[in-house]
Amino acid sequence: MSIAALEPTYHQTAGGETPGRTDPEDALGRDQFLTLLVAQLKHQDPLNPMESTDFTAQLAQFSSLEQQFAMNENLEAIQDSLSAQESGNVLDYIGKTVKTSGNAIFSKDGHPESGRYRLEDLGDVTIHIYDSQGLEVRRIYAGWQDAGEHDIGWDGKNDAGDRVGDGIYSFEIEATDQEGFIVPYETYLTGEATGVTYEGGVAYLMIGDKLVAPENVVEVRK
C-alpha cells in the first residue's frame, strides 16, 4: 500500500487570496497521514518489507506535510490580524461625515446632505432628484458646468417649493456637450457614518440605511 499521494492539496484563488486547505472530506490531515503510515508498517509483507528508501521518502513527505500545515496556520494568523486592524480602522469612521461613490441623498430635519458629481468634460447639466419610490420631486437646471466636481445644490424642496420629508432620496445627472452628446459623469453621496455592520464576514459602514464598503470612501470630515 503506497501513501505517496496522501498530502493535503492546496489551492490559490483568483486575485491572490490566501491559500487554504481543501475541504476536510477531500484531504487527509496530519493524524490520518501518520495513522496510515503506521498501519502500512504493521501490515507490510514480512517476506517483502518496505525498502529503506521508500520509508525515508514517506517520512520526508510527512515532514513536508508538517511544514505546510505550520505555514498555513501562520498565514491564517496574519489574515486574522489584518482583519482586526481593518475593523479598527472602520470603527474610526463612526460619527464622521464620509463621501463615497453613489447617488443617495440623506435628508434629516428637512436638511439634505448634498450629493456631488464629477463631469469628465464641459456639459449642460440638469439634475433630477427622486424620492424612495422613484418619483421625481425636483428638477434643477444647473446650466453649463466645467469638467470636474460639483455640488448638486439641492435645498431640500420639491418643485412646488415645499420642503420634502426626511428620508433617503437619489439623484441622476443629465449632461450633454455642445454637440448634444452625453457627457460621462460619476456621482458621490455624503452622510454621517452611524455604525458598522458585517455581511459575510466583511465590514460595511452604515450611512442611513445604506451599506458602504470602506474602500469606496473617498473623503472623511469631522
- Which residue range is the domain that position 128 belongs to? 97-221
Query: Are 181 and 159 within one domain?
Result: yes
Residue 160 predicted with pLDDT over 90: yes
What pTM was computed for the model? 0.52
The size of the chain, in residues, is 222
Residue 57: per-residue pLDDT: 67
Instruction: Specify if 1 maps to a domain.
Output: no
Residue 58 predicted with pLDDT over 50: yes
Residue pair 217/132 in contact by the 8 Å Cβ criterion:
no
Instruction: Specify if 131 maps to a domain.
Output: yes
Residue 59 predicted with pLDDT over 70: no
Q: What would the mean pLDDT of 42-46 be, rounded to a whole number? A: 65
Lowest-confidence region among 38-42, 162-166, 171-175: 38-42
Residue 212: per-residue pLDDT: 79
- As a whole number of angstroms, the distance between CA 181 and CA 64 comes to 63
Query: Are 47 and 101 within one domain?
Result: no
**DSSP code, position 12:** -
Q: Among 72, 95, 91, 57, which residue's Cα sits nearest to residue 19?
A: 72
φ and ψ at 41, to 5 degrees?
-65, -40
Query: Are 33 and 107 within one domain?
Result: no
In Å, what is the CA distance from 197 to each residue of 168, 202, 209? 19, 8, 11
- Residues contacting 212, CB < 8 A, separation 6+: 98, 100, 102, 193, 204, 205, 206
Q: Band of the pLDDT at 24, cuts 50, 70, 90?
A: very low
Residue 85 predicted with pLDDT over 90: no
205: which strand partners? 196, 212
Query: Are 26 and 106 within one domain?
Result: no
Residue pair 125/145 in contact by the 8 Å Cβ criterion:
yes
Classified as helix, coil or strand, 196 is: strand
Residue 179: per-residue pLDDT: 94
Query: Are 80 and 102 within one domain?
Result: no
Domain boundary pick from 91, 113, 143: 91
Domain boundary pick from 74, 91, 108: 91
Residue 150 predicted with pLDDT over 90: yes
The grid cell for 185 is 459623469
- As a whole number of angstroms, the distance between CA 113 and CA 188 comes to 11
Instruction: Specify if 4 maps to a domain.
Output: no
Instruction: Specify if 5 maps to a domain.
Output: no
Query: Are 153 and 204 within one domain?
Result: yes
Mark out the alpha helices in 16-51 (DSSP H runs). Answer: 30-42
Helix 52-91 with 30-42: angle, nearest 10 deg: 170
What is the overall mean pLDDT for the chain? Answer: 76
Q: Among 105, 95, 138, which residue's Cα sits nearest to residue 210?
A: 105
Domain boundary pick from 44, 69, 91: 91
Residue 145 predicted with pLDDT over 80: yes
Query: Are 212 and 118 within one domain?
Result: yes
Query: Are 62 and 148 within one domain?
Result: no
Residue 50: per-residue pLDDT: 56
Work out how many domains the chain is built from and give that number: 2
Residue for grid cell 443617495: 104
Query: Are 86 and 117 within one domain?
Result: no
